[in-house]
Structure 1
């Protein structure tokens, strides 16, 4: 996973990214687990990614507009939901939830979704074949 994190960081430092992530539960068609479980096409997610966060993976790069809607970089740092919050030279913002992917479960997931809920697509993710899979909170972030 360290190589994937380094690769994403390399791109995000050079190219303005509206969404990028490192996780272990994304789909092969480019969809995030959240998009998959909400039935949102990855194309729609990409088209909306300047304003709507496509998911809340372990490491996420998002647009400055999304961060502004969440109260800014300082507010995200103060939330305690992230171990790293960094505004990149491209204008994108780097968010890392935990130092280790394996630790990104349970309370850590719930802490992140509470912070990013206002910029997530609405709806309750559907279980997959009756099971709650992936690194998701299976609740509607709107409450």
Structure 2
């Protein structure tokens, strides 16, 4: 199953939304598309929705159209996607942006789909490269939240599902309460300070890697590989982050059978 990378941005550090969107697309297209473009039967395509009331404008793989797509990104569209697809319309990978909250453009979702075979999910070098790419793509950002999920592609986090929360609510509260946790979690600066900083997280032993982000916050990698993120690993992550997680006992949801979480109340564990 593929990996879903998502970062939520609500602060732009003096830059426009368009500059942040273009930077995200430039980075992840270079990571995901470079080794696949040019292969027989693989083509690039792009799409943009300029405002919530507009129809999608599609872009084909010609130099002038790709330049036009980049210019559209600079204008901070409501929604945009670039993808690689086969001649049979199978999507191989994609980079996407859309508003995390439909009627509030302040909250921006930036995402990428990383192809991942079962062998790659067990490959420490591949997984390290993915985690490093996440950290590098956020180096100049100040994320409100971020995650890398395995086989779960939704704007809901694991705790949105388990606690039956609307994503719009958890997004608005993301600098006060951590939205969820996964194999890779991005902790915003405000919550990192409440936890006690990166030194506290490293000392906890819950994480394989704790990487401070230059513009604020930290990337937390739970285990060396995606496949080695077992239930016991996830429980250690949960306990180390409990004091900044939402209260309540999450429970399984019939519509999301594969979503993983620890069925305990963070409000009790984090006391």
TM-score by length of 1: 0.87
**C-alpha separation in 1, matches of 2:165 and 2:151:** 16
Question: Which one is further off, 31-40 or 4-13?
Answer: 4-13
Q: How does 1:1-143 map to 2 (within 5 A)?
A: 1=3, 2=127, 5=131, 7-24=133-150, 26-28=152-154, 30-129=155-254, 133-143=258-268
Deviations 1:68-99 (A, max 9, x none): 11111100000000011121111121111101
Contiguous gaps of at least 5 residues in structure 1: none
- Structure index of larger Rg: 2
Point out 4+ residue stretches in structure 1 off by more than 2 angstroms. Answer: 1-11, 25-28, 131-135
* Cα distance in 1 for residues equivalent to 2:152 and 2:133: 17
Where 1:102 maps in the other structure, the secondary structure is: coil
TM-aligned CA deviation for residue 13 of structure 1: 0.8
Verify the 8 A CA contact 1:67 1:73 in the aligned structure 2: yes
Per-residue CA shift, 1:2-21, capped at 9, x if unaligned? 57545532331121101011
TM-score calculated relative to the size of structure 2: 0.48
**Contact 2:158/2:261 (<8 A) preserved:** yes
Q: Do the aligned partners of 2:148 and 2:182 also contact (CA within 8 Å) in 1? A: yes
Aligned length: 141
Give the Cα separation in 2 of the matches to 1:24 and 1:67.
Answer: 24
The structure whose residues are more often helix, as a share, is 1
